[in-house]
Amino acid sequence: MRPSGLDWGRMSRPERDAAYNNSAAVPGSAAWGDARNAASAAVRAAADPAKLDLPYGPAERQRWDLFPAADPAAPCLVFIHGGYWQRNSREGFAVVADGVRAHGWAAALPSHTLAPDATLSEIVAEIGRALDWLGEHGPAHGIGGRFVISGWSAGGHLAATWLGHPIVAAGMAISGVFELGPIRDTYLDEKLQLTDEEVATLSPLRLPAVPKPLAIAYGSAELPALVGDSRALHAHRAAAHTPGPLLPVPGADHFSVLDALRDPLGLLTAQVRLLA
């Protein structure tokens, strides 16, 4: 499968690289990331330190940051960071949960090992292990309500992949990559080194649709390859009669789309609340 709307076979390697290079496509993306990191650091500084850096496994990055709500039975947003599976961490995304937390929700953010220190198969397995841990230990940390899984970019892929986990009630995949085949022809595969089996078994577009609600969101100003993946996944799920809307965020690029989740009145915040 190739990115919708792109003549992949006629594109040069630099053109294929550019099709997935969000940082190059969005002027000011570095400054946006710096501001998000600073705001997230403030959120973590105000949190209960006993709820941060909780291990779900032995590896350095197998950690949770938990932000319980006043009501232990409140719903919880599980948010998985992006970075094409090879950069970023949960610490820089704590502020993204501000939208739902303003409405009395809890939030939980995991990190995972990054490529090339882990294969994509191992990264996917780590998120499953993290969800197992949250289901078992979340109540002891004041988090016992319904779980809505979400993620952005690579985290959107991981959220869609784990929609079927037993603790997950519903999900929202934001600006994700849902067909892995094309990225083997880009710079992204230098660290991922995807195998044929991984492409076949870890691409949500090649897998049966999970019959739980999944909202699929993207910015209307995003790169065509990512817009195409979001639209294709929604069509794939609609063909199987599984629930969940397609949500283009007007004017948003790959980075500013998260503002619609950070804002208590944002489009994505409202949708996550409906999912619970």
How is the chain split into domains, by residue range? Answer: 8-275
What is the reported pLDDT for 7? 85
Residue by residue, DSSP assigns 149-179 as: EEEETHHHHHHHHTTTSTTEEEEEEES----
Mean pLDDT confidence for 270-275: 97
Token reading at 255: 């980075």
Among the four given CATH numbers 1.25.40.10, 3.40.50.970, 3.50.50.60, 3.40.50.1820, the one describing domain 8-275 = 3.40.50.1820
- Helix and strand counts by DSSP (H, E) for the chain: 11, 8
Query: Looking at the predicted structure, is the pLDDT value of residue 8 above 90?
Result: no
Q: Is the pTM for the entire model greater than 0.95?
A: yes
What's the residue count for the chain?
276
Q: Strand pairing partners for 150?
A: 79, 172
Query: Looking at the predicted structure, is the pLDDT value of residue 5 above 90?
Result: no
What is the torsion angle, in degrees rounded to the nearest 10, for the CA atoms of residue 56, residue 57, residue 61 and residue 65? Answer: 10
What is the reported pLDDT for 194? 98
The answer to whether the beta carbons of residues 212 and 171 sit under 8 Å apart is yes
Residue 178 and residue 173: Cα distance in Å, rounded? 10
| Strands 246-249, 106-110: pairing kind | unpaired
* Average model confidence (pLDDT) across the chain: 97
Share of the chain above pLDDT 90, in %: 96
Mean pLDDT confidence for 99-116: 98
Residue 109 and residue 261: Cα distance in Å, rounded? 14
Query: Looking at the predicted structure, is the pLDDT value of residue 2 above 80?
Result: no
